[in-house]
Structure 1
Amino acid sequence: MQRPLLIKINPLDNVAIVVNDGGLPAGTYVEDQNIHLIEYVPQGHKVVLFDLKENDPIYRYGEIIGYANKALAAGSWVNEAVTQMPDAPELDSLEMATRPAPTLEPLTGYTFKGYKNKDGTVGTKNVLAISTSVNCVEGIVDFVVKIIERDLLPKYPNVDGVVGLNHLYGCGVAIDAPAAIVPIRTIHNLALNPNFGGEIMVVSLGCEKMQPERLLNIPVENKRIPLEDDDIIQLQDEKHNGFQSMVDHILAVAEIHLERLNQRQREVVSAEHLVVGMQCGGSDAFSGVTANPAVGFASDLIIRCGGTVMFSEVTEVRDGIHLLTPRAENEKVAQDLIREMKWYDNYLASGHVDRSANTTPGNKKGGLNNIVEKAMGSIAKSGSSAIVEVLSPGQKPTKKGLIFAATPSSDFICGTQQMASGITLQVFTTGRGTPYGLAAVPVIKMASRNNIANRWYDLIDISAGDIAIGKKTIEQVGWELFELILAVASGEKNTWSDHWGLRNSLAVFNPAPVT
């Protein structure tokens, strides 16, 4: 039987979380902390280690995650009901670029087998993407995708799949609103994801506000998407007589692109070509103890190879922003971080909510009392490297290294926005479990606890749970994850979401008005 075990993160902490499956009953003596539990405490939930008076601060990760709203005796369960959330860090008095960049020894010799693109990027998949200029064409695109999968892909064995880049944008929207640049830029850059090999085709209705020419002609690094006239299929074109005519037209254009994609072969390339997105969903109190720190260690390994890592989810870093701006490579990067925090504060305020709306019932059941505690665990995904660039939603990076790509915290929107920013693989940590997946980008799912990994054995790719029980270190699991990333990027190992064909719909972020 497992002995009673609590995890305390930082010497300053006055709470620790319960490790034991099923929690610990009242009266349990925890020898390591020399306390008796006053009441039952569920797994992942916090126990106060010292008597607290009303309004005393509660420390986890060495940071204040709340204040006691009543006196709490040592051994008490610290949950949402007894906690008052602190204010968010002020944005106008933060340290900027004050922490010297850590000395991380370069890693050489690590490679993966990827698909080289003419623009210098490297894909981890070889996928035909069909872009759409408006949601009205989603039905016919989905119809055609099934035909391509059934009838055409067997003829092109080097092509991994086909995906329709469907979305809920394009018409009935304030297309000229300043914030409309976010969805337009996102849809534009989705088409340029390295996993699509530079093969771009667009299905349009014809009467939509977001005409294909407007979608495709956004300058990106002073370049525009080069398209042949035949690569835009407009369903309202007078040459189409009936539904089958439209289907045949899309299939004919698709086959031209499939023939080119089929000529591509995987080649051995340096790990410096990795572009990996880090995300968490269904987080619990172990996420910031096991999975996210292991991801952070793997992030540093990728960056030491010369690669690129993106972390995101503005609301889930907002309460840790005072820990991030000192890590900025320079003052401009720090100011860019602050800019994105302010923008999102204003965005939430316009909807009459604040960051506290982020924390879900599942987060709380898993031991996370509030967004402050959640954020402290979330930022662990970023490792220790200097932050070299900040992207607004849907932007593409201009640098390699650790990048903050500003996105909402929604799993589906974050994944879509990271794809637009150019990730070719995603690592997704979870403490509660999720079947989340992306069609165009392989998603490695890492569990924070062994019990969720064991129950979801055919959905979770790797577990960090051994860290919690002392069987493995953060560094050991970080290396395991790094090696799995290389294997998945090489096509040598399938993720469970790809094995089952699990794919969430794209969810383009649209902060602009809908008319």
Structure 2
Amino acid sequence: MKQGYMAEIGQAPLYIKMDETDNVAVVANDGGVPEGAVFPSGLKLLQQVPQGHKVALTDLEPGQAIIRYGEVIGYAAQAIKQGSWVQESLVELPTAPGLDELPLATKVPKVLPALAGYTFEGYRNPDGSVGTKNLLGICTSVQCVVGVLNYAVKRINAEILPKYPHVDGVVALNHAYGCGVAINAPEAVVPIRTIQNLATHPNFGGEIMVLGLGCEKLSPEKIAPGGNRINIISLQDYQGFDSMVTKIMQAAEERLQRLDKRRRVTCPAADLIVGLQCGGSDALSGVTANPAVGYAADLLVRAGATVLFSEVTEVRDAVHLLTPRVVNEQVGRDLIREMKWYDHYLKLGEVDRSANTTPGNKKGGLANIVEKSMGSIAKSGKSAIMGVLSPGEKVRQKGLIYAATPASDFVCGTCQLASGIHLQVFTTGRGTPYGLAMAPVIKVGTRNALKEQWHDLIDINAGRIATGEVTLEEVGWEVFKFILEVAGGRKKTWADHWGLHNDLCVFNPAPIT
């Protein structure tokens, strides 16, 4: 990655070229670079180019491949002169990589040296798992009961929780599933296992509480482990609203008494399950924040931890770079299976993967889903991919795992929680206040300007990489150490500080009746 000479010449025009074969580069300067500016390489801008947007390094003929990251991200829709702004409208989308003849496990990365001695203070659960928060989770079996639960949780927080200072909070696991759905459709397995796994998240300390109505298709017994009625409250069994709320509060206090006895103990970093996600991405995501998080992901893998990366439509166009990294051919076939499933899912909706790229992504310099994907997979680092999960499936192995999910921040976050993440590292270039109540979300910004604008929302500023103030590796270590501090309760993310927690959004590809 060539970063120009910002460290030496202050505010001189700066572009970033990711690979020797690239014929475009992205402008790194805050506020962009004006027409007529001359880069240290001698390249003169023919027009103003905003930060994160691409400049042509050579003359491009109509139909010529546009190359970034050493990969074709599109084709020139018309002639583009050297020094011109390569806008989205000038880039034609290439065909997605075929899935039937991809190389499988042909370049399996060598195992990196183990990283010993790193720990965090976590809550050890009876089943041996570990929590990073001490929460009471109350799961709903159907959306009909949400109003009652929200009322009860408000009273629990005000009247009961203050008596139990060692409990971090009470979380209502509300969702829109449970009735009016094709409960026995083949794809209904996705939302059902997601809700089942959410209810048993390690941050809930083994305490289960399920609130149902009594006539829903997704019965509470399908959510509570073993269908144990002692963990279930069905509102249709009670006489009046007050008795419902009283029962919820009584059951909650019984569990809060037990949770309040939990204490943090020293746990190895190997106990951690960390999710990676990006949202509000820009063209600097694949230059600064995502590669730094990828470096931190490798450190976590070296420490024996589990790391999940996701977002199918933001992997699909780079899948040919991932299948050689799988640990064996079966894992490669599993990865291809998830790509094919999602291709079919999008086809049913009469869209393709190009529907992923948002107006904000494009404003931030990402021309299309191919360019976005190349930057997105940088979060996965360089470790071998050890396994593949279907949406909402619980992780049961160590190392780097591909967890197939939609790319929507809220749906991906919910799926990763169901898979068991203790916390999530979330990269953003455009900025988002997104957060999760069940697990901390560490926000890593791609640009210095974003950190300055949202100084009390962005936890780590990776924009310093683009300006040469720090190295990618230094930010990677910063992310890794911050993960351990947040997991151990020594530091809080800004999202948790402000209580910014988005609703759960369960992925349901099955019919709604």
The reply to whether TM is greater than 0.5 is: yes
Question: Alignment partner of 2:139: what SS?
Answer: strand
2:152 to 129, 144, 153: 144
Q: Percent identity?
A: 63
Distance across 1 between alignment mates of 2:16 and 2:112: 28
2:458 counterpart letter in structure 1: I
Q: Tell me whether 1:3 sits opposite 2:12 in the alignment.
A: yes
Q: 2:95 aligns with which of 83, 87, 96?
A: 87
**SS of the counterpart of 2:48?**
coil
Counting only pairs closer than 5 Å after superposition, residues 319-398 of structure 1 correspond to structure 2 as 319-398=317-396
Q: Residue 40 of structure 1 is aligned with which of 31, 34, 48?
A: 48
Q: How far did residue 247 of structure 1 move? A: 0.1
Query: Is the Cα–Cα contact under 8 Å of residues 144 and 250 in structure 1 kept in the other structure?
Result: yes
Conserved? CA contact 1:230–1:253, under 8 Å: no
Distance in 1, matches of 2:229 and 2:44, equals: 74
1:309 to 307, 310, 314: 307
Alignment partners' CA distance in 2, 1:285 and 1:101:
27
Matched, 1:194 2:192: no
Paired with 1:474 and 1:507, the residues of 2 have a C-alpha distance of 33
How do residues 4-19 of structure 1 correspond to structure 2 at under 5 angstroms? Answer: 4-19=13-28
Deviation >4 Å, runs of 4+? none
Which one-letter code corresponds to 1:476 in the other structure?
E
| SS, match of residue 34 in structure 2 | coil
| 2:473 pairs with 1:475 | yes
Partner residue, 1:504: 502
Shift of 1:228: 4.6
1:100: how far off?
2.8
The one-letter code matched in structure 1 to 2:65 is P
| 2:37 partner amino acid | T
How far apart are 1:110 and its partner, in Å? 0.2
Confirm or deny: 8 A CA contact 2:446 2:461 kept in the other structure.
yes
**Helix, strand or coil for the counterpart of 2:223?**
helix
Q: Look up the SS of the partner of 2:126 in the other structure.
A: coil
Which AA in structure 2 matches 1:30?
F
Q: State the match for 2:253 in structure 1.
A: 255
Secondary structure of the residue that 2:209 maps to in structure 1?
strand
Distance 1:186 1:234 in 2: 21
Equivalent of 1:299 in 297, 300, 314 = 297
Supply the RMSD in Å over aligned alpha carbons.
0.8
SS in 2 for 1:36: coil
One-letter amino acid of the counterpart of residue 73, structure 2: I
Deviations 1:128-184 (A, max 9, x none): 000110000011111111111111111111100110100000000000100000000
Secondary structure, counterpart of 1:108 in structure 2: coil
CA distance in 1, matches of 2:285, 2:152: 40
Q: Give the partner amino acid of 2:288.
A: T
Q: Distance in 2 between matches of 1:326 and 1:14?
A: 26
- TM-superposed deviation, 1:102: 2.4
Question: Which residue identity does 1:263 align to in structure 2?
Answer: K
SS in 1 for 2:402: strand
Report if the CA contact (8 A) 1:85-1:370 is conserved. Answer: yes
What letter corresponds to residue 68 of structure 2 in structure 1? Answer: R
Measure, in 1, the Cα distance between the counterparts of 2:470 and 2:88: 31
Rounded to whole Å, the distance in 1 between the matches of 2:471 and 2:417 is 31
Cα separation, 1, equivalents of 2:502 and 2:396: 28
2:232 corresponds in structure 1 to 232
Equivalent position SS for 1:388 = strand
**Paired residues of 2:276 and 2:308 also in contact (CA < 8 A):** yes
Partner of 2:458: 460
Please give the secondary structure, in 2, of the residue aligned with 1:236.
Answer: helix
Query: Secondary structure of the equivalent of 2:236?
Result: coil
Q: How far did 1:227 drift?
A: 6.1
Tell me how far apart the structure 2 counterparts of residues 228 and 153 of structure 1 sit (CA, whole Å).
Answer: 25
Q: Tell me the equivalent position of 2:397.
A: 399
Equivalent of residue 210 in structure 1, options 200, 218, 225: 218
Q: Report how far residue 499 of structure 1 moved.
A: 0.5
SS in 1 for 2:496: helix
- Encode CA deviations 1:341-392: one digit per residue, 9 max, x unaligned: 0000000000000000000000000000000000000000000000011000
Deviation for aligned residue 1:214: 2.6
**Take 1:338 and 1:326, find their aligned partners in 2: how far apart are those partners?**
12
Letter paired with 2:78: K
1:267-299 deviation per Cα after TM superposition (whole angstroms, max 9, x unaligned): 001000010000000000000000000000000
- Quick one: distance in 1 between partners of 2:222 and 2:39? 64
Amino acid across the alignment from 2:231: D
One-letter code aligned to 2:467: I
Aligned residues: 504
Q: Distance in 2 between matches of 1:347 and 1:103?
A: 35
Cα distance in structure 1, aligned partners of 2:495 and 2:227: 32
Task: Provide the residue aligned with 1:490 in structure 2.
Answer: 488
Rounded Cα–Cα distance in structure 1 between residues aligned with 2:445 and 2:107: 31
CA contact (8 A) 2:143 2:177 kept: yes
Aligned-pair CA distance for 1:415: 0.3
* 1:439 match: 437
Instruction: Provide the C-alpha distance between the structure 2 equivalents of 1:328 and 1:115, rounded to a whole number of angstroms.
Output: 32
Residue equivalent to 1:220: none
Which whole-Å CA distance do the structure 1 matches of 2:145 and 2:365 have between them? 43
* Residues 196 and 222, structure 2, Cα contact 8 Å, conserved in 1: no
1:96 equivalent in structure 2: 104
In structure 1, list runs of 5 or more residues that go unmatched.
217-224
Partners in 1 of 2:395 and 2:495 — Cα distance?
27
After TM superposition, give the deviation of residue 229 of structure 1 in Å. Answer: 2.6
Q: Contact between 2:290 and 2:375, CA under 8 Å: does it hold in 1?
A: yes
* CA displacement at 1:101 relative to structure 2: 2.1
Letter in 1 for 2:12: R
Residues 34-83 of structure 1, C-alpha deviation per residue, up to 9 Å, x if partnerless?
A: 21111111110000001111100000000000000111110011111111
Instruction: Give the aligned residue type for 2:199.
Output: A
The residue correspondences of 1:22-41 to structure 2 (distance < 5 A) are: 22-32=31-41, 34-41=42-49
Q: TM-score scaled to structure 2, two decimals?
A: 0.97
Instruction: For residues 190-210 of structure 1, give each alpha carbon's deviation from its aligned partner in whole angstroms, at most 9, with x where no partner exists.
Output: 011111111001000001011
Which letter maps to 2:123? Answer: Y
- Aligned partner of 1:54 in structure 2 is 62
Any conservation in 1 of the 2:210–2:223 contact (CA below 8 Å)? no
Q: Deviations over 1:414-467 (max 9, x none)?
A: 000000000010000000000000001000001000110111011111110110
- Cα offset for 1:230? 2.8
CA contact (8 A) 2:220 2:227 kept: no
Once the two structures are superposed, residues 218-260 of structure 1 have per-residue CA deviations (whole angstroms, 9 ceiling, x without a partner) of: xxxxxxx2465332101001xx221010000001111111111
**Contact persistence 1:102–1:384 (CA under 8 A):** no
Q: Secondary structure at the match of 1:276?
A: strand
Q: How far apart are the structure 2 equivalents of 1:215 and 1:164?
A: 15
Distance 2:483 2:440 in 1: 10
Provide the C-alpha distance between the structure 2 equivalents of 1:354 and 1:348, rounded to a whole number of angstroms.
6
